[in-house]
Structure 1
Amino acid sequence: MNHNHNQQDQKFLTKMAFLDSQQRERLIPPEVLINQMPIHNNQTLLDVGAGSGFFTIPMAKRTINKVYAMDPDKRMLSVIEAKAKEKGLHNIEPLQETIENLSLQNDNIDFVMASLILHEVKSLTIALTKIFEVLSVGGHLLCLEYEKDDLIIEGPPMSIRIKSEELEKILLTIGFDIVEKTKINDAIYTVLAVKTEKKMNYL
């Protein structure tokens, strides 16, 4: 039993080290990306699939309001809390939840970061609809994902990746407007979307 527990701990530590190192290597510095985003210092922010706080920490520095760090893994949230304490940040609130079951009030969030997490959800439509609901009108969502391209070997299995055109199509169907699509590097793209109205555009 104890051996199994140790294995789980090791798995978690390996995952955390991987998240930090991989994201730092593959992505532009998180501060740079966050500084390019339409975030104001009095807004409420949400980092879905926050992991080890790669984006949560720089997001918390950009606003005096609350930043929700959502992750289903309680240990990841403990890591974020430790980092926040170390940096003297008091506006991060951990949420141990999945995107599909977000308990946040509707129309309450001004900016959502979804970094390398959407390919892990059971239903992309449900997850993005939930994000749409919690966003206030005029609120933005930044999606960061691996392109579904057979030439790009690095990253998650091709079968679970989300083609950027497919992501844009679902976002538009739900009711988002696409603001901007960029390629960070060969493997990773971003889509910035905005909620322009409350009404759902069901087909």
Structure 2
Amino acid sequence: MNHDHHCNQHDQKFLNKIAVLDSNQRKLLIPPETLISQMPIQKNHTLLDVGAGSGFFTIPMAESTVGKVYAMDPDRRMLSVIKDKAKEKKLTNIELIQDYIENLSIKTNSVDFVMASLILHEVSSPPKALSTIFEVLKAGGHLLCLEYEKDDLIVEGPPMSIRIGSEDLEKTLSLVGFELVKMTKISDAIYTILAVKKDQ
């Protein structure tokens, strides 16, 4: 009996998470279609959304290309949410991958564009995660990172201790081998960094 109660609580927590992920406030903060339309994505590109969550970016990414879009998330339930959304929008180019970013098992040099939205502060080793992304990207391929700024005045968002400030992220990207294209402040709390894997 108790077990069911625990289950329901767990499911409720999951539903709350989706509600937050899909909330209108988040859409106002980062209209995903706007952000995707500003990216160097072409109609035939292969895309990857790491830490795809409920598909906030996966769906507009899939709408922007006829190529394949990999949606990667360790949570199987998140992936089933994406699957339902894709079905609803009749999108057939999304491939779901249940795994952690550090174990990325996509062929090297096969992806044109990677989106890493609010995920790097959750991985055990950002440099390792970024190196893995670097490997799967084609030369000339782009990575867009979206993260919370590390600033004590900004309360919203994850705990300060796990945030990755924009300067630190820029350094790590450079060390991994990326070239920075641009840093954009979306709001006081959130920034994006666009980086490219240079032709070697």
Task: Compute the TM-score of the two structures, normalised by the length of structure 2.
Answer: 0.96
Is 1:175–1:197's contact at 8 Å kept on the other side of the alignment?
no
Aligned to 1:108: 110
Q: What residue is the counterpart of 1:201 in the other structure?
A: none
Separation in 2, partners of 1:13, 1:172:
37
- Work out the CA distance in 1 between the residues paired with 2:190 and 2:82: 24
Aligned residue in 2 for 1:48: 50
Deviation at 1:26, TM superposition (A): 2.5
Deviation by residue 1:94-131 (Cα, 9 ceiling, x = unmatched): 00011001011110100000011110000001000000
- 1:17 is matched with 19
Q: Deviations over 1:126-168 (max 9, x none)?
A: 0000000000100000000000001101110000000100000
Q: Aligned equivalents of 1:8 and 1:153: distance in 2?
A: 26
Given residue 140 of structure 2, which amino acid in structure 1 is its aligned partner? G
Give the equivalent residue in structure 2 for 1:180. Answer: 182
Task: State the secondary structure of the residue aligned to 1:153.
Answer: coil
Equivalence for 1:67: 69
State the TM-score, normalizing by the size of structure 1: 0.95
**Unpaired segments ≥5 residues, structure 1:** 199-203
Query: What pairs up with 1:1-203 in 2 under 5 angstroms?
Result: 1-21=3-23, 22-27=25-30, 29-198=31-200
Task: Give the whole-Å Cα distance in 2 for the aligned partners of 1:192 and 1:138.
Answer: 12
**Percent of pairs identical after alignment?**
69
d(CA) in 1 for partners of 2:26 and 2:143? 19
Q: 1: CA distance between counterparts of 2:26 and 2:50?
A: 16
Gaps of at least 5 residues in structure 2 are none
| Runs of 4+ residues over 4 Å off in structure 1 | none
In 1, distance between residues paired with 2:98 and 2:176?
25
| Counterpart Cα distance in 2 of 1:129 and 1:35 | 26
Deviation at 1:191, TM superposition (A): 0.2
Instruction: Please state whether the residue corresponding to 1:94 is helix, strand or coil.
Output: strand
3-state secondary structure, aligned to 2:10: helix
